[in-house]
Chain A
Amino acid sequence: MAENDCKDCKDCKKQARWREDFPITWESDNYITRREMVKFLGLGSLLIAGANFMVAGVPHLVRATSYPQTRLGLMSEIPVGGSRLFNYPTGDDPCIVVHKDDGTLVAYSQVCTHLSCAVIHSEKDNALFCPCHNGYFTVNEGRPYAGPPTRPLPRIKLEQRGEEIYAIGVEV
């Protein structure tokens, strides 16, 4: 750099003495070097890898949460081929339990996985039916087989203790 070619002065001889100890111009201070960028990207890479592990751990944390055990009633109260509504795990989560023809019970969240309308049991089609957009889910597995829904209904785990039926968890 020529003597009179500084970016922030006209004449180097007229500069303050502290300039000799701190010869960095304001403009060059704003530049980012390749090495600084490499370090920044390396640190960013570490942070993103950490974030990815956190995201991967979320489903395991959600699964680890314990669900309450809620009594649904007596098995005989639900007729074969019929259904009954209940709320689980909280009072704001509507669910439906269906007594299948083979005598077993299955329960699902009543919230349609398409746009959250309430699904109802259709005895005629032996399916769970969403009247909003004509979505159909199988009773056996809660899988969608017709209409716009693509994801299955969350299944409610049931336990039979004698004649009594209890909801004990949610299977997503």
Chain B
Amino acid sequence: MTRQTQGTTLFTALLVLIGIGVVVQLWLLAASVDAVLRHNVQIPLHAALGSVIVFLINGGLVMYVFWFDKRIKQ
């Protein structure tokens, strides 16, 4: 397997993982809005914390893409 094929597979996998993370965040956002409309205070806070954790994971994956590109260019 060539390095280019490996890179393509890797980035496709990262893209899918980040996409799943964004879908989870959208679900958390919808649950938060639902909880706010039901006058629940705790659920939106926990959902926001969960959303930040998912964002940190996504951000780490995006940073890995940048780092990988930088390493390849060097």
A-side interface mostly: helix
* One of B12, B15, B54 near A45 (C-beta < 8 A): B54
Q: Is A13 an interface residue (CB 8 A)?
A: no
Q: Is A52 an interface residue (CB 8 A)?
A: yes
Interface size on A, residues (CB 8 A): 22
Contact flags A38-62 to B (C-beta < 8 A → 1, else 0)? 1101101110110111011011100
Residues of A within 8 Å of B29, CB to CB, are 48, 51-52, 55
Interface residues of B in 1-33 (CB under 8 A from A): 8, 11-12, 14-15, 18-19, 21-22, 25-26, 28-29, 32-33
The reply to whether B44 and A56 form a contact with Cβ atoms under 8 Å apart is yes
Residues of A within 8 Å of B22, CB to CB, are 41, 44-45, 48
The reply to whether B69 and A35 form a contact with Cβ atoms under 8 Å apart is yes
* One of B15, B18, B55, B61 near A49 (C-beta < 8 A): B55
Taking the closest CB of chain B, its distance from the CB of A163, in whole angstroms, is 33
The reply to whether B15 and A55 form a contact with Cβ atoms under 8 Å apart is no
Q: Within the assembled complex, what's the spacing in Å between the Cα atoms of A172 and B58?
A: 36
Q: Is A34 an interface residue (CB 8 A)?
A: yes
Write the chain B residue with the least CB distance to A49.
Answer: B55
The reply to whether A52 and B15 form a contact with Cβ atoms under 8 Å apart is no
Taking the closest CB of chain A, its distance from the CB of B9, in whole angstroms, is 11
Taking the closest CB of chain A, its distance from the CB of B25, in whole angstroms, is 4
Write the chain B residue with the least CB distance to A150.
Answer: B38
The reply to whether A56 and B19 form a contact with Cβ atoms under 8 Å apart is no
Tell me whether A45 and B58 are in contact in the complex, defined as CB-CB below 8 angstroms, given that A35-B65, A38-B65, A56-B47 are known contacts.
yes
The reply to whether B25 and A49 form a contact with Cβ atoms under 8 Å apart is yes
The reply to whether B58 and A42 form a contact with Cβ atoms under 8 Å apart is yes
11 extra A-B contacts, CB within 8 A, seeds A49-B48, A58-B44 = A34-B11, A34-B15, A41-B18, A45-B59, A48-B25, A49-B25, A49-B54, A53-B52, A55-B32, A56-B32, A59-B41
